[in-house]
Amino acid sequence: MSARNINVDTIPLHTVLIASDRPENISVWENLFQLRDCIVLSESSISNTLQTARLVGPSLMLVDMNLSRQKRTTMLKELRLASRGPIILLVSANTAAEIIEAKQAGADECLLKPVNPAVLIVKAMAWLGHGKRHERPTQPYSLPHPRQQISRPS
């Protein structure tokens, strides 16, 4: 696992886990996310990816691995169980059935290779909520009683 040093003045909004068996792609993807103040972790094996996902609970997972359909399906199902973060899968799919299968296994987004880095980062930031951290409300939402009049400003 690799990570970058964090500047205390810039607190990253999100943690991104990159699973790739292509070292040349990892550096490209890492730089794209680091430029957007994300903490980036990268793994090159399925077992390490699953372990990191369980330990960290990343905000987003990017999977760029050359796997058989069966291994890819198993990995996606296990990643989905390990973390709630969205999964973006970079895939060289030959048929729409492969993409549907990947989405059913847990992928939130499938991008066909070769992927334009600009398209990838736009999709990823959309899944991350455009880089904005959404606070959970401290009080539960309450609705007015059905018979209560709602006052409207004039």
* pLDDT on residue 28: 92
* pLDDT on residue 131: 44
Q: What mean pLDDT, rounded, does the chain reach?
A: 84
Question: Cα separations (Å) of 133 from 4, 20, 77?
Answer: 21, 26, 26
pTM (whole model) above 0.85: no
94 assigned to some structural domain? yes
Which CATH number fits the domain that encloses residue 116? 3.40.50.2300
Answer for the pair 63, 19: CB distance below 8 angstroms, yes or no.
yes
49 assigned to some structural domain? yes
134 assigned to some structural domain? no
2 assigned to some structural domain? no
44 assigned to some structural domain? yes
Q: Show Cβ contacts of residue 80 under 8 Å, excluding neighbours closer than 6 positions.
A: 87, 105, 106
151 assigned to some structural domain? no
Condensed to tens digits (0 to 9), the pLDDT of residues 47-98 reads 999 999 999 999 999 999 999 999 999 999 999 999 989 999 999 877 888 9
d(CA 91, CA 75) in angstroms, rounded, equals: 14
133 assigned to some structural domain? no
Tell me the sheet residues that pair with 61.
Answer: 17, 87
The count of domains in the chain is 1
